[in-house]
């Protein structure tokens, strides 16, 4: 599938606008694709809890784990569901709240210059074929759309926040992702 970015939005994604974003600092453009994982409750797939969490609509009493994240306001630009469905929460030209305290190649505050892509999953559960296909296609479209991005600036959350974050985890097959991306004409 070919993916298209228009005015900061992926045309093939369902939109679920999050209030958890800001304008990027002046002069900052997307220069890093940052891969994450999330499941809510942990290890549970297919529900709408991630979407409700990123849009500040999660019922904190719905599951005991949610008490641990009650005061957290986060978002990502994009979620890739297990079946490959895409949900976009924040305009790619804006600053989503996904990386937290982070650093990449000597630059702090990765939210300022990155695009955050969440995979529905955990560190240890294998990701699906549909997720690898969608992630590679979206990555290629973003790299094509934003000249400030290139295939060499793709990292996991664990790379920008070592010791604090572990995602996308050992279950994420970086080699497979990079090969699939290369098949799209992008060398990462």
Catalytic residue annotation: 118
Crossing angle for the helix pair 174-183 and 129-145, nearest 10 degrees?
A: 50
Q: For residue 122, what is the domain's CATH number?
A: 3.40.80.10
Tell me the residue range of the domain where 47 lies. 5-183
Q: Are 132 and 179 in contact (CB under 8 A)?
A: no
Residue 108: strand pairing partners: 103
Does residue 109 lie within any of the structural domains? Answer: yes
CB 169 within 8 A of CB 39: no
For residue 11, is it within any domain?
yes
122 in a structural domain: yes
Residue-level pLDDT at 151 = 72
Residue 73 domain flag: yes
Return all residues near 34 (Cβ < 8 A) that are at least 6 apart. 98, 99, 110, 114, 115, 116, 117, 154, 155, 156, 157, 160
Establish if 188 belongs to a structural domain.
no
Give residue 152's pLDDT: 79
Q: What is the mean pLDDT of each run of 10 residues along the chain (188 residues)?
A: 95 98 97 98 97 97 96 97 98 98 96 98 98 96 93 93 97 96 79
Q: What is the rounded distance in angstroms from the CA atom of residue 129 to the CA atom of residue 116?
A: 20
User: What's the number of domains the chain is made of?
Assistant: 1
């Amino acid at each position: 599938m070919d993916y298209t970015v228009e005015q900061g939005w992926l045309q093939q994604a369902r939109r679920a606008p999050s209030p958890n974003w800001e304008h990027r600092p002046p002069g900052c453009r997307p220069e890093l694709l940052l891969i994450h994982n999330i499941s809510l409750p942990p290890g549970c797939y297919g529900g709408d809890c991630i979407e409700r969490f990123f849009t500040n609509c999660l019922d904190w009493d719905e599951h005991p784990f949610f008490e641990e994240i009650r005061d957290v306001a986060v978002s990502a630009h994009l979620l890739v569901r297990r079946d490959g469905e895409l949900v976009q929460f924040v305009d790619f030209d804006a600053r989503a709240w996904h990386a937290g305290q982070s650093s990449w190649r000597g630059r702090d505050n990765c939210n300022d210059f990155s695009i955050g892509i969440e995979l529905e999953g955990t560190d240890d559960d294998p990701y699906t074929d549909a997720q690898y296909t969608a992630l590679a296609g979206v990555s290629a479209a973003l790299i094509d759309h934003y000249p400030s991005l290139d295939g060499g600036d793709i990292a996991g959350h664990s790379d920008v926040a070592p010791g604090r974050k572990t995602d996308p985890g050992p279950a994420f097959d970086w080699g497979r992702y990079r090969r699939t991306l290369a098949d799209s004409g992008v060398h990462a």
